[in-house]
Amino acid sequence: MATSSEISERIIEAVLAQKLQPGARLGEQELAMLFDCSRTIVREALMRLAARGIVTVSARRGWYVMTPSQQEAREAFAARQVIELGLIRSRSAVDQAAIRTLRQHIGRERAAIEGQDVGLRSFLLGDFHVCLAECLGNSLLADTLRDYTARTTLIAMLYQSSHDAAQSCEDHARIVAALEQGDMARAEALMAEHIGTVQAHLRLPASQDPLAQLRSALAPVNPPQAPAAAAKPRRKPPANDPPTDTSTYLGALL
C-alpha cells in the first residue's frame, strides 16, 4: 500500500516526465485503485500537491493538474532565477564528489537524448536543477526547486516551448564545467542565461487581454473584404440598347 508521500512524488515525477499534461484530471477513486490504498490517503497526497502549486481542486469537478496562467509562468521563472543564482553565489567552490555526481547526471541526459524515451529525457533535464541544489548542499532548496521545476515543465507543455533538449543539456554541461574550474561568477552567469533562454522559447502571448484567446478563436474564418471604391453612376441605357446584365452589380450589393 502506497503512502501519501509516495503518491505525491510519483505525480511530481510524471509531471517532470511530461506524462501528465496541464489540466489532466486526477480522480481519487482511480488513484486509490492504482496505488492500492484508501481515498483518504490519495486525498492527503493531492492536498499536499495543491499546497505546492502542482494540482488544483474544484468543489464540483474534482482534482486537476495545474494549468499555469501567463503571470504564474513569469513568476515561476523569476523564482527559479532567485533560487538557483543565489545557490551558486553562496558557494565559493564545489568539491570533486559533487562534480562527479553532476557529470554522471549529464551523461544520463545525453544518453536519454540519443534514445527514444522522451519521458526520461524530460525528467532528467528538469532533475538536473534539483541535483545541482543537492550537490551544493541545500536539500531544503532542492525540494523547493523540484516543485518549481515541475511548474515550469507544465508551463513548457502549456505554452509550447520550442527549446531544444540537446541545447539544454549542453547548457548544463557548461555550468558544471565552470563550477569545476571554480569560476562561480561564470557559472552564475551561465545559469541566468540558461533559465532566460528556456523562458524566451515559450510562446507567451504579448497581449494582456483576458479575452485574447477566445477572441482569436471566434474570429471570422473568412473576414469580410474591404468595400471596393465607389463605382461611377451608371448611364441609363437607351431604350433600343439590349438589356444590361446586372449580375455583377447585384453581386457587389450582396
Q: What is the mean pLDDT of each run of 10 residues along the chain (254 residues)?
A: 94 95 95 96 96 91 93 93 95 94 97 92 95 94 94 91 89 98 97 94 68 72 66 56 46 36
What is the C-alpha separation between 191 and 136, in angstroms, rounded?
14
Confidence at residue 237, expressed as pLDDT on a 0 to 100 scale: 54
Dmax (CA) of the chain? 104
Predicted pLDDT of residue 238: 55
CA distance 213 to 221: 15
Grid coordinates representing 82 are: 532567485
Q: Which residues contact 37 (CB under 8 A, 6 or more apart)?
A: 1, 2, 3, 7
> And the C-alpha cell for 98?
559533487
What does the pLDDT read at residue 217? Answer: 75
Nearest to 128 by CA among 76, 75, 191: 191
pTM for this entry: 0.76
| Of 167, 122, 110, 111, nearest in space to 149 by CA | 122
Residue ranges of domains in the chain, CATH in brackets? 4-65 (1.10.10.10), 70-200 (1.20.120.530)
The answer to whether the beta carbons of residues 149 and 198 sit under 8 Å apart is no
pLDDT at 206: 59
